[in-house]
Structure 1
């Protein structure tokens, strides 16, 4: 629910919104405005709505967005009986904040975006409560190990670039973050997507995706993608049902750990949508971020009705 006010080159939006920043396929490093919903999906792409005031200015020299976010939403985690999750349950009832204002701390973001020729560029700054909690070790009343989320005050500067040249799309996301955990860090994801239009003389398009994902915290990173190479095939059928599929894999550069996944969707009639998702974890060593999920594979089918 959002109120929108327009006047010439200015826009003002007040309400609860979802705002996406980013260009890469396998990880969205710089997408920080909205909180992640891990109950809905483990791929971190599902987000919670964020209360905000957003003021935009659009001119020939680009677009500037200012965001004020007066209320913070905590990340949702899978519970004891849920999958996929780590070995220890996250106790959201014991959540900690670095700021005394807790969820009422005012967060700010500034974004400048500009298109020149075949290049789209975005430069962003975020100051406020991290959407990525640091998970502290703890125990519950029974003495069982648990994780306690702590939300710290961070500053994040990020850059995203997309460059189209013929059938090639080159992409880059990078960030520098301070205040998260015990160290400041730099991370980036970059690569390409090549699209073969009308493959095999059909109306279908086949895309080839390749990316490199890097986080300079390496083994101390709170992500599975600290130094990984990813590849994928994207099929767009270009039919009336909007049928499409993405088959991908992610290989750790330093170990044998790898992930395989499939995402597919198709509409039926005007009201029905079928989504299929599959994720396989293979050869995770005990040092891998996803070691606790090494026996947890996922196959999910969803059928939506829109009215």
Structure 2
């Protein structure tokens, strides 16, 4: 119940700021803004904003700074979902229990909506309201660019697309998911440290936590894809198997994959020892990730 309450509070804060940062507009460009709002305001657990807010709380960062960074990372995440769902990518019709953006609007508008969210994320991070120190803002922009680019999420997506015609071993899948999913989760934890001028030891601990959490998250995602339904997970189930993709589940099997996710969760929490009780909200997130059903 603690994580549910904390997640709901973080989601409410993120939704409020996202609503403010992506206001509806009149004119011909209004359609793309409507699609941007559709992609961001249509639900989602807001796990990445939660990680930003609670990593920032470790260093007593002003909530008004942390929530803007949280909103920025959610914009980038939502852009990635819009593009990931396109016919040229995963060709999905359902996201968060609703029609995907290209189904609700059209492909061209969905592409532009994703572009708009991506660029707006950096506009938000670079704004003085995110932090008065220009060096902090520049570091946030740089870190998110690395996490979201060819060395991170975009590169991981490219490998994922190619994986339909490749045989990947467990090491290759781990690298793929560390880039595609884990890099943005790592940034979400690193953002709080950047905002709080944290030292190298604290940053290393958070990065190690995020690394294990991100892999656990993806293993559970693979389990849900293998065992869930479209109704329970809010998106098409069985897509990986249908595409012939190697996943943690296809290589390890269901039970070994569950065991590995639990082990990674234990490792993730071990990295938080130096923060004491202040890191409890991050520990709650670990348990949430391991036990989630959607």
- Asked if TM exceeds 0.5, the reply is no
- Structure richer in helix, relative to its length: 2
Greater relative contact order structure (CA < 8 Å, 6+ sep) = 2
TM-score normalised over the length of structure 1: 0.31
TM-score normalised over the length of structure 2: 0.32
